[in-house]
Copies of this chain bind each other. A is one copy, B any other.
Amino acid sequence: MSVRIAELSSTSGVPVPTIKYYLREGLLPSGEPTGRNQAVYGEEHLRRLKLVRALVEVGGLSIAVVGEIVATLDASAEVTHHVLGVVQRSIAPVTPPVDDRDADAEVAAFLARRGWAHMARDPSVLALVGVVATANRLGHHRFADLLDGYAEANVAIARRDLDYLVLNSKPDEVVEDMVVATVLGDAALKALRRLAQREASAGLLAEE
């Protein structure tokens, strides 16, 4: 039940120096001290360690971002209200806002069509504007047309995400599960898009 660092390392597969590094960076809480310089680690440390590794390796998140996320997890043990925004803000890579009037207008029009709130400071909206601006600069002036179809698909995806959380999460684990579902979901969706593209183009070629 309570183990020391060597066993934490061997059961998780994470090298001891790396665990020490995570401890220094605050990604992992300290163990329970049993003496002046001894400590033991419990089930929650192993769980946290696996989460950190998943966020770093599968999600590609930086140590700094993972640090913010676990801080949020620790802070909101019982505050489950409006935590989605906090999680998203932590996960979103902070895009420096681009200054592109056209892209702004296209995204605003898209959000209006959808009936979605247009919060200009929202990281997701900023990211979207950045993508559209880049597309325009590359000569893809119809790229914004894709957004409506993408949005529709993502409404379905978000509904599945919420169902998944409601069905599978114990109340005190919703926040952590939301992080996991979001980050692993991103990776899964990316892979699935590749597979679906291949199938779709195979279908197209077969028709010819």
Residues of A at under 8 Å CB distance from B? 47, 50-51, 54, 57-58, 60, 84-85, 88, 92, 116-117, 122-125, 127-128, 130-132, 134-135, 137-140, 142-143, 145-147, 149-162, 164, 167-168, 177, 180-182, 184-201, 204
Contact = CB atoms under 8 A, between A and B. Distances in A.
A170 to B, nearest CB: 11
Query: DSSP class of A's interface residues: helix, strand, loop or mixed?
Result: helix
Contact of A84 (B60, B186, B198): B198
* Copies of this chain present: 2
A201 B138 contact: no
A199 B131 contact: no
A17 B155 CA distance: 44
Contacts of A200: 155, 158-159, 161-162
Contacts of A143: 164, 181, 184
